[in-house]
Structure 1
Amino acid sequence: MITRAMLLPRRTDIAERLESLRQEQRAQLASLRFTTLNWDSFLSLCQRYGCPGLAPADQGKLRPTQAENGPESAARRAFDSRNMEKYLRNIRAMETLARIEDDMATLAKHAAINARAGSAVVAAELVALHLGDCLLLGVPFEALTQIGLKIKQMSPFAHTFIAAYSNGYLHYGAPAEDYDKGGYEVTECLLAPEWQEEFEKNARQIFQSLQERQCSCR
């Protein structure tokens, strides 16, 4: 078994990402528009005409209506359809606003954690347990799939496995390339993108040390 201490950089981009989210939040708020519908009247119209964006097979049985073929009914349907589309745009904007609000709260939480630490780096430890052609690498974060696959490719051992959140918990360990794509894992994260390079460097050194031990035992 080998243990190796390392220092992983804390993220410093939270203020920038919060500002980007605020800009997106303002844009979504500005897109909201008044409609004559509320939730009940929207559902009623969906029963009558079907819900915009759904295929006919997904609509279920529509409620029969009277005088659907006259010019007045056609004009009314066009009016209702415009309001339904507008209402749906508002719903989608509100879904986005809810996600933004949650992301901002999560980023603020990690900013507070890093600020309380008073250090630009966080101490972490890797633990490697080697048995035959198998290697178990304990890491103090929840490594995303791409991280685990990269370690397997790097490893000289036939069977390499990663044990997440061992000897501590540093939230998610996301690939550096994912940070600009957004998503839950790179938001629920206190490490800077450069953590991956430092982690892989230390993993390589562990692999090298284990191989040297194997050679000396022969």
Structure 2
Amino acid sequence: MNSLRKLSVLIEEYTNIRNFVVMLVLFVLVTGTMEVCPFGSIHLRNISNGVGMLDMLSGGYSSSLVYSMFERIGEAGRIGYAQLLGLDIVFALVYMCLLSLLTTLLLRGSGIGKQWILLNLLPVARSGLDLLENGLLLTLLFSYPVRLELLVNIASTITIAKWVVYFIILALLAVLGIYAAIRKIVVRTRSRATPGA
């Protein structure tokens, strides 16, 4: 717990608008590259009849879906998908930093930053699941045509867990954003009322 708090405080120390903007730019660049590069997600969706990246399926995936997709995309497609998962590792790290910085900024703006600072670790948990998921999917790709159905089930469960954490993060950001906006309005209203009192 102490090491988690240290990590949370470290994120808090590096949180400022400049670092957030840098991470936002990196996020846009990495996401754009993942979409349009020759082995990107658009190409994968096209050759997999719309399935695309398995980790984007928030409801998980079955063994039959995984292996029918692997067969459909062929060897070149599987190599491209493995490259895309490698790039997704970079995405997971950049997205983790971006969401952690945004969470910390909103915690500050809402005035509850110090009490609930550990909430800025939720994106770390999400990216940890993402990295584990990528490792399992790469194992499935490199093991093909051997079918590792248990590993597919584990990977699918981790994918679902990652999306659950992600939706929690989005809900948290929405609540913090609303709270911070209300707090800002209240502070402005009070500061305007005080000089005339």
Fold shared, TM-score > 0.5 on shorter chain = no
Task: Provide the TM-score with structure 2 as the length reference.
Answer: 0.31
- TM-score (normalizing by structure 1): 0.29
The structure with the largest helix share of the pair is 2
Please identify the structure whose Cα radius of gyration is greater: 1
The structure with more strand, counted as a fraction of residues = 1
